[in-house]
């Protein structure tokens, strides 16, 4: 559920320009949700906020196709 909510919010903020871009974003987002989740019980709102905050930092919505990497801050880095 967190993945779906985060995906919808990111698509609304940064609409994908093509299906390839969307597929790259979805894969990065799936990994980010798992990376942000911790063992034990997870509160939906807290996890969603963390995922959206990290997606902004990592700029998941802006893939770079020349390298297959995701733009972040001052350069390009792997999505996770």
Q: CA 26, 54, 62 angle in degrees (round to 5)?
A: 50
Domain boundaries, the chain: 2-66
DSSP secondary structure code for residue 17 in this structure: S
Identify the three-state secondary structure at position 58.
helix
Give the residue carrying structure tokens 């980010």: 32
Question: How far is residue 64's CA from residue 62's CA, in Å, rounded to a whole number?
Answer: 7
Q: What is the pLDDT of residues 10-37, one digit of tens each?
A: 888 888 888 888 888 899 899 889 888 8
Q: Global pTM?
A: 0.61
Q: What is the pLDDT of residues 36-79, one digit of tens each?
A: 887 777 788 988 998 888 887 777 655 554 444 444 444 444 44
> Which phi and psi angles does 60 have, rounded to 5°?
-55, -25
């Amino acid at each position: 559920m967190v993945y779906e909510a985060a995906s919808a919010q990111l698509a609304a903020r940064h609409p994908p320009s093509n299906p390839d871009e969307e597929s790259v974003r979805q894969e990065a987002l799936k990994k980010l949700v798992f990376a942000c989740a911790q063992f034990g019980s997870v509160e939906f709102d807290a996890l969603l906020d963390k995922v959206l905050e990290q997606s902004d930092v990592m700029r998941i919505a802006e893939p770079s196709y020349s390298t297959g990497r995701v733009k972040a801050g001052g350069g390009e880095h792997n999505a996770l």
